[in-house]
């Protein structure tokens, strides 16, 4: 896959809901290779903390792969934080990281997740 494909993934996921704040594609080294941010928002993380967050995702992805044989590969992870909700999806060694407004109700979160899964699966093949 290339930058054009990564950008398309970000655009497709960002268009699912007006509550999507940010979509990023992170490679196995923790580098952000494409992203889409909602225009009307200030980022919650500064540049340095963003790098740390994505490095953490890369390390965690590598560690989680040890359990793939027994538990199966990760399809998605949903985190609820005080200021934002985050879902991440795996496409091989890549992670699609999506932040969503905190105020979103669970049924909308489930709709967003269900809408993301076919996009991720399409690009994962």
> Can you give the pLDDT at residue 111?
97
pLDDT value at residue 45: 64
In this prediction, residue 91 carries a pLDDT of 85
Looking at residue 52, what is its pLDDT? 65
DSSP code string of 20-69: EEEEEEE-TTS-EEEEEE-TT---SS-HHHHHHHHHHHHHHHHHHGGGHH
Note the pLDDT of residue 39.
79
Domain coordinates of the chain in residue numbers?
A: 3-124
Q: What is the mean pLDDT of each run of 10 residues along the chain (125 residues)?
A: 90 96 89 88 68 68 70 84 90 89 93 95 80
pLDDT of residue 17: 95
8 Å CB contact between 81 and 67: no
Task: Please report the pLDDT score of residue 66 as a whole number.
Answer: 67
Pick the CATH number of 3-124 from 3.40.50.10800, 3.40.50.300, 3.30.420.40, 3.30.450.30: 3.30.450.30
The predicted pLDDT at position 87 comes to 93
């Amino acid at each position: 896959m290339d930058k054009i494909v990564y950008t398309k993934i970000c655009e497709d996921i960002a268009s699912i809901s007006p509550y999507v704040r940010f979509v990023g594609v992170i490679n196995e080294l923790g580098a952000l290779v494409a992203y889409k941010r909602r225009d009307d928002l200030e980022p919650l993380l500064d540049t340095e903390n963003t790098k740390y967050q994505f490095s953490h995702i890369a390390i965690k992805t590598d560690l989680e792969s040890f359990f793939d044989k027994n538990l199966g590969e990760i399809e998605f992870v949903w985190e609820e934080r005080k200021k934002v909700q985050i879902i991440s999806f795996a496409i091989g060694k890549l992670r699609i990281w999506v932040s969503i407004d905190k105020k979103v109700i669970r049924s909308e979160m489930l709709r967003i997740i269900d809408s993301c899964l076919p996009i991720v699966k399409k690009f994962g093949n």
